[in-house]
Structure 1
């Protein structure tokens, strides 16, 4: 099994186009300790030929251009005029940073689009996604807890994690932490190896801990280091948990929640622009690495 990190940042990427928080300012000032990151997405394959895209980032075109394994030329013959190693797409929720890239895939390319019924209904309700020609793009509802094989040799299972509806669907009191169809994690299995991709999660529950026990790889929500990070940075009023993202540090944080579970490699993904783990050598990065975690980056390849 091969995993390829196309984008490692949260919504808006890093740096955000209009942000001068402490971490973004380092980038604008040319500080070598930080590097630009696009919005979160990974690709997975069991054979290196047929690839599953997990979440379609708004930065998808740029990500494909700099990722040879999923470029149009990978595996194409001279007679082909349209080709892509991407045979399927799975979206884990309806957030803009995970579905907007579907619009990039409108050029009459055959692929299957997977998602829970709830998320596919959100996509279907927006007429702009009708640019995905149904003659080319088949939408396939995913049943929670039922494994399927979107590309040859790669078994996939979606499972509910604590989350919420996308921001643009919030109305009145928001149920943050509900487990249903609107936010899922993904188990990927091939050749006796297992990886988990959980880019959005509001809390680490005991059932989630048990699910990922002894996994070869865990790519987990690293949106904020501290729960009140955005208010501290002066760029927002919401806490991480209110946005549906468990913080890395503090009580109930993810840094310690997965200790002692026999996981081979743990890495944070979906990292917000305010998060100081983006800074090489920062105290927060050192704390994460000392606890056995890695900070994912665009172009990172993982072979469990």
Structure 2
């Protein structure tokens, strides 16, 4: 199983177009050592030819151009993307669907909650019905009896969706009262080798079934949005805490570092990094702390083989 990180940043990318925080300003001026990043998305394949796109970010066209494997060029109109799977209905994870409108109908795997948001509050499915069209595949979640599914064209990989606590999008009627299915994590398994990846770019709380999935995986690729709970407030970027945004910060008691330290020898990688997070500065104290805990920071183009 091959996994390519197409985008590793949170919404807005890095540097963010209108942000002059120390990271973004430092990146533009060349004052810090850091990599530019697009908005988070990954692609998964069993043969390197057919791919499942997980989340379709607004940067999808640039990500495809940077990833030749997604454009194999076998015919006059072609793509290596056989399906799209969504973790949630956040704008930075779904608006790239509009950029795929010139192709064939899109097999779209998502929960009923996400489908409802994309059919009403942000009616992308209605818009796309006038172009390529969308074929909805209901992504079922069940904490007690999780159901592994396979996607046609990617025969040797199974995907198991697990409900997790985060936030529905700001435009959703469930923003302040999220329901199971608004957000999912994915346990992705190579059915030949048995190797597993747990992917969750948004995590507000580590529930027991999520902790079990993380322990079961050979690699965890999880929420790295903010370093501290009050990061956005302290920098004057927002009045929202990390919890308000549906994310678990890395530092502090109960933070992501503490959680990842309880795992075994799995490979541990953070993704969905906000432009304000000091770990983007590769020479920062925070980046050094992650390294001491053997935690990696995802970057665009990163490849994971399982």
Matches within 5 A, 1:283-302: 283-302=285-304
Q: Secondary structure at the match of 2:261?
A: coil
| CA drift at 1:34 | 1.4
Question: Deviation per CA, 1:182-219, whole angstroms, max 9, x where unpaired?
Answer: 01000110121100110001012233212221411100
Contact 2:87 2:185 in 1 (8 A): yes
2:157 to 144, 154, 159: 154
How far 1:170 moved relative to its partner?
5.6
Aligned pairs for 1:1-304 within 5 A: 1-73=1-73, 76=74, 80-125=75-120, 126-133=122-129, 137-144=134-141, 145-150=146-151, 151-169=154-172, 174-175=176-177, 180-190=180-190, 191=192, 192-304=194-306
For residue 250 of structure 1, give the secondary structure of its aligned residue in structure 2: coil
Q: Which portions of structure 1, spanning 4 or more consecutive aligned residues, are displaced by more than 4 angstroms?
A: none
Distance in 1 between the 2:242 and 2:215 partners? 25
TM-score, normalisation: structure 1: 0.93
Cα distance change, pair 170–241 in 1 and its aligned pair in 2 (3 A): farther
8 Å Cα contact 1:216-1:265 kept in structure 2:
yes
Shift of 1:263: 4.5
Q: Deviations over 1:88-142 (max 9, x none)?
A: 1001001000001010111132431000011011112244433434875311111
Q: How many residues align?
A: 296
SS state at 1:258 partner:
helix
Q: Deviation digits for residues 151-184 of structure 1, max 9, x if unmatched?
A: 321100110111121012267x823xx5611010
> For residues 215 and 253 of structure 1, do their structure 2 counterparts lie closer, same or farther at Cα, with a shift above 3 Å needed?
same
From the superposition, tell whether residues 128 and 92 of structure 1 become closer, same or farther in structure 2 (CA, over 3 Å).
closer
Relative distance call for 1:136 and 1:96 in structure 2 (3 A) is closer
Question: 1:288 deviation in Å?
Answer: 0.8
Q: 2: CA distance between counterparts of 1:211 and 1:127? A: 32
Deviates more, 1:268-277 or 1:23-32: 23-32
CA contact 1:50–1:152 (8 Å) conserved in 2: no
Distance, in Å, in 2 between the alignment partners of 1:219 and 1:12 is 20
The runs of 5 or more residues in structure 1 that have no matched partner are none
After TM superposition, the score normalised by the length of structure 2 is 0.92
* Contact 1:157-1:188 within 8 A present in 2 as well: yes
Q: Give the SS at the match of 2:269.
A: strand
**Counterpart contact for 1:214–1:263, Cα < 8 Å:** no
User: Secondary structure, in 3 states, of the residue corresponding to 1:240?
Assistant: coil
